[in-house]
Amino acid sequence: MIFRVPFLSTLVSDVFSCLFFSSSPVFIVHSLAAVNHRVLRMSASVFASLGAVIHSFSSPRSSHRVPIFEDKSNPALLAFESSLLEQLKSTDETGYLSIEWLCQAMEMVLSTHASAESFVPELQLDATSSDRKWIDSFLDNSIKLLDTCVTLKAAVAEIESYCGHLKVALRALEKEPIGEVQLKRCLEALNKCMDALKRRDDAVNHLGHRRTKLENCSSMLRRMGERLNMEDASNGNSWIAIYTAQIITIFVYGLLSSALSLKPRRSLSSISVDAHSSWSVSLINLQQRVKEHIEKKKSRGSNLFLEELDMADIAVRKFHDLIQEILQGNSASAKGITVLKGKEGSKALQALLMDLQQGLPALQSHLENTYRNLLRSRMAFLDMPLGS
């Protein structure tokens, strides 16, 4: 097989031109640097082609294409992947699906998006018409991620409403003495807390089965993860960075969809990634540990995966039963004992409420910032000129 280097004569011409037709040393240095860059890109292309030929002769035929990547010696890409690896390692600790942990995961999404955006100018220069299919896929995914972000923000708002009802319930028992009117007001607010979880985000799909919007988002994210593979990123460093940002966003959005759902019927889906990068194994391990954590919660009968909301829901139900017991008590002595229990329960519930509501503004803010990043990236790709 003969390998042709079609641009060799052009490169030689460029060298002679910059040496003999320019009087500016600075121009000569920049020109030679540009020529050197083109030589390196040609070399990478030739060796990639040679690798493909060797692979085609040495490997048996298979339906699975093994993507061949460019040399990832780009310092910016190596720094990008190294930073992501460190964030995945720091995220892979205890406290899965707590609000603090989810905020940390969202910070990883924001950081990955910010780093990936730095590769867009290079992509705008190098993109060709052959990249149209990948760009269309990215734009399609970005719309779905924007829709998912809106749904997640609405789910967080519902939890904030839950906290509002719980505040009303606890405020009803603040003043002494606690009488029947205050107890009934507290009970009514607790009922609203429980009802808010039952009817949250109900939707009816085209088959007539009741599914929540969050469950629909989880299914959509699962399909996106299944379709997205590393062949999409095989065109160069910039594509790898954009691909990585999509993978991390889909993964974390999937976690949020599960954490904010009530009685999710399907287990957390895993995104299959090839172990080509330093961060791949860490992501695979993190997915597995989170999935095991969720399965343990399900085996204990938990209806909610968000740690603080699950603990608050359990306490609300117990407190609801206690208030009912106080209202139904006959003797004054029995009522006095249960009222004391009610005061203790109120203090415990107040602490859980503080834990739940403290992290919600940060989570909502992270979702808003991610929405802006997704929108900005989408606009950049919509306006991207494609060369021949």
* Together in a domain, 54 and 138: no
* Together in a domain, 242 and 304: yes
Residue 290 domain flag: yes
Using one digit for the tens of pLDDT, what is the confidence trace for 266-301?
667 677 776 667 898 899 899 989 988 888 888 888
* Together in a domain, 142 and 250: yes
Residue 107 domain flag: yes
* Together in a domain, 20 and 88: no
Residue 18 domain flag: yes
* Together in a domain, 43 and 96: no
Say what the pTM is: 0.75
* Together in a domain, 185 and 270: yes
State the first-to-last Cα distance of the chain, in angstroms, to the nearest integer: 27
CA within 13 Å, CB half, 19: 8
Domains in the chain: how many in total? 2
Residue 68 domain flag: no
* Together in a domain, 213 and 276: yes
Nearest to 260 by CA among 192, 301, 313: 313
Residues written for the chain: 388
Q: pLDDT class for 239, splitting at 50, 70, 90? A: confident
Using one digit for the tens of pLDDT, what is the confidence trace for 337-376?
566 677 778 888 999 999 999 989 999 999 999 999 999 9
Report the alpha-carbon distance of residue 74 to residue 224 in Å, rounded.
28
What residues contact 69, with CB distance under 8 A and at least 6 apart?
Answer: 233, 234, 240, 276
* Together in a domain, 17 and 129: no
Residue 373 domain flag: yes
SS3 state of residue 111: helix
Instruction: Summarize the confidence of residues 164-185 as an average pLDDT.
Output: 88
* Together in a domain, 24 and 137: no
Report the alpha-carbon distance of residue 380 to residue 378 in Å, rounded.
5
* Together in a domain, 52 and 154: no
What residues contact 124, with CB distance under 8 A and at least 6 apart?
Answer: 380, 384, 385
Residue 256 domain flag: yes
Residue 64 domain flag: no
Q: How many other C-beta atoms lie within 10 A of the C-beta of residue 160?
A: 15
Q: Give the domain extent around 81.
A: 75-382
* Together in a domain, 262 and 342: yes
Each as own residue / partner, the long-range contacts of residues 280-286 (CB below 8 Å, 24 or more positions apart, any chain) are 282/85, 282/88, 282/89, 282/92, 283/88, 283/247, 283/248, 283/251, 285/92, 286/88, 286/91, 286/92
* Together in a domain, 324 and 289: yes
